Structure 1
Amino acid sequence: MAALQQELIVRGEQVERVFINFQEKKYVVNRQYQRKLIWTIEEKQSFIDSIIKGFPIPIILLAEPLGRKDGTLEIIDGMQRMNAIMSFITNDFSLEGCYFDLNTFATTKDLLDRKVIAQKTPLLDRGRCLSIASYPVPLSIYEAAEKESVEEVFRRINSGGRQLSRQELRAAGATDTFAECIRKISARVRGDTSNTDLLQLSEMQKISITNKELDYGINADNVFWVANGILSKDQLRQSRDEEMVADIVAYMVSDEPVASRTELLDDYFGATFPETPTSKARFDTINQAVRKRSLELVDLDYQRVHDAVILLLSQAQATFTGLIFPNGNSNNPVPRYYQVVFLALHDLIVKKSMVVSNSKGLIARLTDCGKSIQVQDGGRWGADNRSRMIDSIVGWIQSYFEEDKNPDPAKVHWVTKFQNLLTNSMTE
């Protein structure tokens, strides 16, 4: 059977027309492969300045997925650029201290008159506003695009440069059981869950992490990883949190202790190219392991332990780093310390079906325990060292646990779920 002919249309559309489409909710973002908004305000301002000066900008690639009948276009490449244009027009940020004049064209004037958007001052001069409105944005529309093709195009476009982190490239379009599990857990811990993978471009700010002078929906300082000194804000924006969740989950579901290293994560997400028999075997094994437990139960297992950590730190009135390194941390790789403690708690709570019987004693035992955990430095973390450290913490804290008289794999504290329900409501 002949392959379906897919059409590529290239055209220039004035910013005014693009903004009208934006208002009519024509542009959507697929969270299965798109990252969050990460441009700094300086990057946005520089981009708007390029438009005003008439400099050429990179082409924005959109897709009209096969079978979609609502007329929406999926943004494959150019989400940060599109958001910069739309958010400048809606007065979310200024250029040289001045804001876009909403009286420049009919659509923005109507929004101003109906008090949908408030005009901020001082105004950017009308000539520069007109330069923005009339700028021809280069758009390439990939028509009749199959889902797999869209994901592959996204991966290929972003693999040639520094735009995406390694983890973002691994996760781009990866929809197998392990990748889906990591995506769900990571979003819940960050607090940027949404009820659907397809979001309007205008909704992305509500689930993106606050950047300097850009007040998005998720404050980076309040995200679990940053608030507890486990990851920095930059590491969070590079999706290092997803790498750590993937490392933890791989250990949770594997029959034998597994190492932690970049090449293994590539294999787990099916991102090794070219594929080898070894990488394919690892991919199949990890996905089969998640399916054996079930994605839902692995998700609940992680949530039970994560909520136990949150409650413990709340009782201790300390951050994770402050608890295990009360006298300060001398550039120790905190993510590995967190993994050791988390996986020790997973062993007790999930594998051994135990519950905390003495939280005060447990907190005292974990206080300053970082000095007793000897984790490997460097990019590779061997399975032996990893399992030895986890087992030592299990032995160190087990006396503060007791048998759970009513074991239930779906038993969670609802701490994280409640926080995410509030975020979900913002995107509806």
Structure 2
Amino acid sequence: MCVSEDFDFYSLEIQLNSDDALRNEQLNSAKSFFASIISKGFNAQITFTLNDDIEYNGIDISQLLDSIDSIGDINSDDLAIVKISHEKDCSKTLYIFNSSVFVSFLNRFSIEDQIKLINDKLFDNYQSINVDNNYFHIGAFQQSLYYKESLFSEINDIYLKIYSSKLSPLYVSYILDNITTGCEFNHYLKKLLVIMCLSLISNDFDFQKNLFIFDSDREISIDDIEIQDSFTSSVYHVFLWIFSDDRYITRKSVFNSVISLQSNIFYAFNERLIGTLSSNLKILYKNNFENYLEARNGVLDFIFELSVKMNDMINQKLSSSKNVFFVLISYFFTTFVFTGIDKGKINNMFNVDVTALSLIFIISSMIFIVFNQLDIEKNINFHLSQRDEFKKRYESIFSEKELDDMFNSDSLNQVVANSRSRKYLYVYQVILFAMFSTVVYLYSLK
């Protein structure tokens, strides 16, 4: 007898025994299974095959029994299969008939695939869950008190980087609080919650081995941990403490340092751990406050100097383009003036030599201005790469939000925007093209 359940089907498959007494026990199990589905208002499809020939296919258990009786004796060589299956519909409620069987189905997948599967099915298809006759509405999560206003607002973004999933420890905790304690699915979610929290608060993790690594290469395996309520609660509250504000990097560092000093990491997760972490955090803030200010001022000075440096470079490059343009204008002006002084009047002087020389000057100017603009953009990208490298040095000191605020200054963004603006390039090119066309036209009149 094989019972299976996943997100789509709940089914029972029995290979009927040739012994009458054993076969009757099997059929009694089939009737009980069928009744458990019908009692909830659902239908079940029944199929009976004998040696791959379909003897019955319908939805009436009594007709199935009649079909089996009509066959008579079943020999030991016969392959008699009875399958009762209920196909779950997307009625916005996920029914889990047998949580033990359902959990066995989930455990066949890797942790990442389990999270992805639960995420895709729960978020996309269902608004409520019924587990072993325990019903609750999962769509109320965002409106519930479980939404932590004080929790760091970017926690879901951080979690998406790890799992590419909307499923978070907050959501799993919400489901846990609504599922009957003691059922297999409740135990499964506790273990999943511990894994998800530890993956966020440890220095590193290996889901293939279920290892979580802390400072000094201390590690624990989830397979060696007995999931108890006190342990699960402590891990979850450490997770909430670390991500209670945008200094989560510092808090995470304090936690990993403290936990690595414990002789037994498992027993270190208790009701006293949060107090120990808070005390160590206060000591760290007190000792490092001057260093923090010095580091922050260093970053702000770097950004200011970088903005000035980039702005000077852009002005220098734009100035060189202007100089080339005005040199070309001066060339034509002086040519006309001196020709007029020499001959006493202005004539069309664009013979072959003058025209060729003028066109060479214009084309060279156009090419120089284009490459000058490209050089500006190349230099800006180089300086921005330097900025990003400099930013990485401070990821262990400042939070991501604080770093973004410091490195995305208005003055720097304005300089970058100006450098990538090709307004002057297009203006110069239009004027130079007009000059080019004028020279060609005057030569044609010669």
TM-score (ref. length: structure 1): 0.29
User: Of the two structures, which has the highest relative contact order with CA contacts closer than 8 Å and spacing of 6 or more?
Assistant: 1
Structure that is richer in helix per residue: 2
Larger radius of gyration: 2
